[in-house]
Amino acid sequence: MLRRGPWHLAAEFSCAVLGLGLVVASVRLFSDTTALVVLAAAVVGSWALSAALRRTTMNGWAAEILHGVFGLVLLLVIVAPAERWGILPTWSSLTSAVDTIRADFMTFDREVAPLEARTGHLVVMAALLWVLTMFNSTTAMRMRASVQAAVPHLFAFVGLGFVSREAGRTVATVAMLTALGIYSIAQVGWHRSALPWIPRYRSAMRRWAGGAASILLAAAVLATAGVAFLPGGPDPVLDLRRGGLGEEGPRTVVSPFVDVGTQLETLSDELLFTMTSDRAGYWRISALDDYEPGEAIWVLSNSYEAVDAPLEPDAEPGGVATMDVFGLGGIWVPSPEHPVSADADFGLNWDAGAASLIRRSGELGDGDRVGFATPGATDAFELLGVNRDDLAAATPSGGSTDLTDTSGAPDELVALAAELSSGLGPHDALLALQEHFRNEFTYDESVDLSAESDPLAAFLELRRGFCQQFSTAFALGARSLGFESRVVVGFTPGDAVSVQPDGTTTYAVRGRHAHAWPEVHFEGIGWVPYEPTPGRGNPATTALTGVAAGQADAPAEGAVEEAIPPATSAPEQAPSSAVPDTSPTEPQLDAGTDATPREQDSTSGSSLRLALAVALVVVVALCALVVWRRTRRSEHADPVDSAWQRAVSMLEERGFSMEPHDTPVEFAQRCGRSLDVPELQALADLESRRRWSAAETGTGPAGRAEVAGATLAALRERLAT
């Protein structure tokens, strides 16, 4: 029969230790270690509630149902506090939680651990730990199935290792093995404590505990020393990205505008990267070809292939450019127009249709470098392989219905484009549309059209806005004329900070240089860039568009220019957390409002505080319950048990030692040979019945109390003589 006592408490606490070991092991899953505090609170709260429910008279199944319901209610209250009805969650709380989880898990095909700990991730992980802890505590302590209780934790630990990178392996392995060792020792010790009839039981238990602790220490040391030799690398064993294709095969992504949206909104002076090149130009991120009028945004969904050959096989390199990262982040690699080839110490993927380059795995980090071979063309006409007359006589491409879709174009924009293009050739018509926006509109970063039902129509009426609205209006106006058009996002040249003797210049590209511009496709020529935004101009296309170089002004007088560290080759570094959230539902290129990246849910901070508070309340309630039950037990303790323990203690003080193999009757008989206390034999008989007989002893509570009192009185009198 398993008893309560020190080993029982140790076994009970070991259930929490095993869960906390899994929490520490999840350091491989999240890049933000503060997430571990939230998960630890979930483990402690679940364990404390389970322990408290076991100390009630509630049926086991009813207790577990109550445990699960309490966890669900607590989860919904934390994740969706605004949808509560009083202190209780509602159906809206559930739908809000599901939406949060879905939104945060939508990018799993482009992410690999360690991840940024978003609210949805924490909700799922905390719920999993809540259930695992409940299962472990119930199975081990109620059903006495210690091994089966630990199996789900082991599967969860192995699963974390399969989907995580090498980072954190040592910490995770040592933490989980140590927790498992503590759990095993406590559980086995508790089960062995039920065998007091074994000869020299106490000394055997001490030797066993010492040996187990030594084995645990040796295992922890060996795990720490040997984990470095375990298989592993910079990528997970099971790569869930791209449907399990990992870095091989196409990588599907959506618009890069989430990455540059902050710069387009704030126009900060933060240094993002430098580009060292023999010619200035716009640095390209990607092209967005799908306009969604309902959201007034541009998006892109395209396929990127691994770079294993020149990007432009038929082009001859004539120049070089080098991009060094100082704070850019994300997966999108700025590149010169029409790069011939690209090379880096990390994998790159390329989409020829959008002329877009991305990092294959992880994010760009400070010190990353990408080298480019560029064409030897000196201007845009030479780059396109045409002259001015060829472009003037070219006809627009109109084969793609997606690229000529005018949905969302206001009627006044269609009428304006038709009026400006009347009697002109295609290229001249587009130049007329470009000049209309540059001359009749004003560039204004402060414009906010988010409250407008049709932001683009409001922009046309207000005649003020920034590059998102100018490029959108031009692209949709060109589509109304039958042209295939799209919007490109990237950066203007940046500030020239140094010039080398060979003529190459290093440009410091900052947040304020983020930009968007339109492109139009001509038959037999390709994509031709235009610049309708006032105050902006690509120096590489001046001959084509007639627009001189221009970009955002430098900071106001008195602002401190950030020093550019010396460029170095890309160092070896562990990939950072995860590819940024680029789900199709996110704002990409907003034609009427500042395009902002997805705001991180602030629920994580409040969730942490609330979860910790709930865990603390549960623990305090548990402690109060334990004290109450102990007090109640002492008040209603069986008089036979108390009298027997006191009698044994009195006899041991006089040299009568009760051996581990002695039964109460045997011990009383041995003592009776030296002591004339017949009451001791009667007490021993009652104690034996109390321990091992489920039937009534034949003596009522009053009778047992009388025998107990008489025995102790007789024993004291006999020992006093």
Reference 184, options 134, 143, 140, 220; nearest CA is: 140
The pLDDT, as a whole number, for residue 561 is 45
Scored b (16 or more CB within 10 A) or e, 205-223 reads beeebeebeeebeeebeeb
Which residue is it, tokens 């009198």? 717
308: left (phi over 0), alpha (psi -120 to 50) or beta: alpha
Q: Which of 83-97, 198-212, 272-286 has the lowest mean pLDDT?
A: 198-212
**pLDDT higher for 161 or 670?**
670
Average pLDDT over residues 645-650: 82
**What is the distance between the alpha carbons of residues 546 and 342, in angstroms, rounded to a whole number?**
30
Q: Is 343 helix (H, G, I), strand (E, B) or coil?
A: strand
- Convert the pLDDT of each residue in 21-75 to its tens digit: 888 888 777 766 777 888 888 888 888 888 888 878 777 778 888 888 888 888 7
Neighbouring-strand partners of residue 271: 510
What does the DSSP assignment read for 465-491?
E-HHHHHHHHHHHHHHTT-EEEEEEEE
Q: How confident is the model at residue 210, as a pLDDT?
A: 62
| Alpha-carbon gap, residue 676 to 262, rounded angstroms | 93
Contact call for residues 441 and 536 (beta carbons, < 8 A): no
| Strands in 224-365 per DSSP E | 251-253, 271-277, 283-288, 290-292, 297-299, 302-306, 317-325, 332-333, 341-344, 348-351, 356-359
Q: For residue 207, what pLDDT is reported?
A: 60
Asked if the model's pLDDT at residue 558 lies above 80, the reply is no
The predicted pLDDT at position 528 comes to 92
535-558 exposure pattern, b = at least 16 Cβ within 10 A, e = fewer? ebbbbbbeebbebeebbbeeeeee
- In this predicted structure, what is the pLDDT of residue 315? 75
pLDDT at 172 (0 to 100): 79
- Looking at the DSSP assignment, which residues form a beta bridge with residue 516? 489
> Picking from 32-41, 203-212, 573-582, 616-625, which range would have the lowest pLDDT averaged per residue?
573-582
Asked which of 110-124, 238-252, 277-291, 426-440 is least confident by mean pLDDT, the reply is 238-252
Look at residues 709, 684, 710 and name the one whose alpha carbon lies nearest to residue 697.
684
Split at pLDDT 50, 70, 90, the class of 424 is very high
Contacts of 371 (CB under 8 A, 6+ apart): 320, 321, 322, 323, 342, 343, 344
Closest CA to 60 of 2, 143, 127, 132: 143
Residue 683 scores a pLDDT above 50 = yes
Report the C-alpha gap between 50 and 136 in whole angstroms: 10
Query: Which carries the bigger pLDDT value, residue 608 or residue 341?
Result: 341
How is residue 79 written in tokens?
Answer: 């994740």
What is the predicted pLDDT for the residue at 249? 44
Give me the pLDDT at residue 530, please.
95
Distance CA 299, CA 645 (A): 79
C-alpha 714/C-alpha 717 separation (Å) is: 5
Gyration radius of the chain's alpha carbons: 37
How much is the pTM? Answer: 0.51
**pLDDT over 80 (residue 6):** no
Percent residues over pLDDT 70 in the chain = 71
- Cβ neighbors of 616 (< 8 A, separation 6 or more) are none
Task: Name the packing angle between helices 664-672 and 639-653 (round to 10°).
Answer: 40
| DSSP per-residue codes, 102-167 | HHHHTTGGG--BSBP--HHHHHHHHHHHHHHHHHHHHHHHTS--HHHHHHHHHHHHHHHHHHB-ST
Delimit the domains of the chain by residue range: 6-238+601-630, 268-551, 638-720
Alpha helices in 239-363 (DSSP H): 257-266
3-state secondary structure of 415: helix
| CA quadruple 502, 508, 512, 518: dihedral sign | positive
Average per-residue pLDDT for the chain: 75
Burial of 560 (0-12, 13-18, 19+ CB in 10 A): exposed
Sign of the alpha-carbon dihedral angle for 560, 261, 564, 355: negative
Higher confidence at residue 103 or residue 147? 147
| Contact indicator for 253, 304 with CB cutoff of 8 Å | yes
d(CA 119, CA 163): 19
Determine the Cα–Cα distance for residues 540 and 289; give it in Å rounded to an integer: 23
For residues 522 and 385, what is the distance between their CA atoms, to the nearest angstrom? 13
- As given in the structure block, the two tokens for residue 172 are 């995770």
Residues in the chain: 721
Q: Taking residues 670-676, report their average pLDDT.
A: 80
Mean pLDDT is lowest, of 304-313, 510-519, 561-570, 654-663, for: 561-570
Residue 263 scores a pLDDT above 50: no
The 10 Å Cβ neighbour count of residue 429 is 21
For residue 336, cis peptide bond before it (omega within 30 degrees of 0): no
User: What are φ and ψ of residue 344, in 5° steps?
Assistant: -155, 165
Q: What is the pLDDT of residue 572?
A: 35
Pair 332, 488: CB distance under 8 Å:
no
What is the pLDDT at residue 478?
93
Mean pLDDT highest for which of 37-46, 412-421, 493-502, 619-628?
Answer: 412-421
The three-class DSSP label of residue 646 is helix
CA 574 to chain centre: 17
d(CA 325, CA 637): 73
pLDDT reported for residue 347: 86
| pLDDT value, residue 208 | 57
| 3-state secondary structure (DSSP) of residue 319 | strand
* Pick from 46, 45, 4, 22: nearest CA to 150: 22
Write down the number of H helices and E strands in the chain.
21, 20
